[in-house]
Amino acid sequence: MDFLIEYGMFLAKSATIVLAVIFIIGILTASGQRQRKTGKKGSIKVTRLNDHFDEMRETMRLSVLDKEHLKLVHKDEKKQEKAEQKEKKEQLKKEKLKKEKQGEIEDSAVRKKRVYVINFKGNIAAEAVASLREEITAILSLAAPQDEVLLRLESPGGMVHAYGLASSQLLRIKTEKIPLTICVDKVAASGGYMMACLADRLVSAPFAIIGSIGVLVQLPNFHRVLKKFDVDYEMISAGEYKRTLTTFGEITQKGRDKVQEDVETIHSIFKTWVKDHRPSIEIEKIATGETWVGVQAKERYMVDELKTSDECIIAACETADVFEVEYEFRKSLQDRLGNVFEGTADRLFSKWFEKPTDDIYQ
């Protein structure tokens, strides 16, 4: 009798697990179908950074200042706010009179300057360009020449064609004659500098890594290993230079020379690109593949100012409405679950690896 009870409990548990798995699969499938029906890739998120910094400042005041001091500060701010509103009304009246006399003028002439902040954190494939193109499209639908785009750029470089596309996206801003400021806090090297040199104003942190104006091709070759073990590698192609250097094929001097020629050509185009957009630099002295920290880069006219992006944004908030624009791709339920599992695994591994270190220093 006990056996039958235990067996029944086992069946019940098994059925529960199977039903739970079927339920989860059903949710995942339905989620995927809903996404396909909507056809939306993602959405634009806009944050007014003026409000963000005001909240931070107010929190600090409430914690640090005494009540009487805080009261005086708020009183002064209200006075200043009233004066600004009065000045704005007078300006609007003047502009209204101009409209009546000269005809319609653009809306941008009577409003406050706007600064749009975007971020680009690049990897080898410049995958962040997918968000960058959407963010720039959104900004250009509203921005005027009196406004400004501020890009916080971080990239060690990568594939030529990928960073070429990213640079082309920035050119869209310049084509619309909207000022472009690029801030580099950590690194803008190789393809990253290809993007950075497009700035009307290029700002670097003092110890950010700048430069690496060069081109690199590298790959392992296993031809001799295959030959040693009598393994044949067949490749059929049409066109003399369809394949030059390959991972498994024999590398010929002719193929090596062709790749070298291609690398030199791309390097020449890269140098011309940088020189066209930053004419003050001595291109032959900096196009050596070397990198410099921000202080050295400024001496070589590779950047214009030494500041962090935080300084630039806070300064902009004093005179303009500053908005951070982010394009967020819609994540499927599968992706979200995957991120949860990945995060859990990372935390477990981190704790596992950190524990011996903690024991050593106890």
Catalytic residues: 190, 242
Q: From CA 166, how far away is CA 158, in angstroms rounded?
A: 11
Give the phi and the psi of residue 187 in degrees, each rounded to 5: -155, 140
User: CB 167: neighbour CB atoms within 10 A?
Assistant: 19
Q: Could you please report the per-residue DSSP string of 15-62?
A: HHHHHHHHHHHHHHHHHHHHHHHH---EEEEEEEHHHHHHHHHHHHHH
Report how far apart, in Å, the C-alpha atoms of 204 and of each of 208, 295, 297 are. 6, 8, 9
Give the phi and the psi of residue 162 in degrees, each rounded to 5: -70, -45
Amino acid identity, position 343: G
Query: Which tokens go with 243?
Result: 């394949």
Exposure of 253 in the CB half-sphere (CA atoms within 13 A): 0
Which residues fall within 8 angstroms of residue 139, CB to CB, at 6 or more apart?
116, 118, 149, 173, 325
Q: From CA 312, how far away is CA 305, in angstroms rounded?
A: 10
Query: Which tokens go with 329?
Result: 């791709």
Q: Could you please report the per-residue DSSP string of 106-169?
A: -GGGGS--EEEEEEEE--TT-TTHHHHHHHHHHHHTT--TTSEEEEEEEE----HHHHHHHHHH
Contact between residue 180 and residue 151 where contact means Cβ atoms under 8 Å apart: yes
- β-bridge mates for residue 181, sequence order: 150, 201
Contact between residue 155 and residue 122 where contact means Cβ atoms under 8 Å apart: yes
Q: Which helix (H) or strand (E) holds 360?
A: helix 333-360
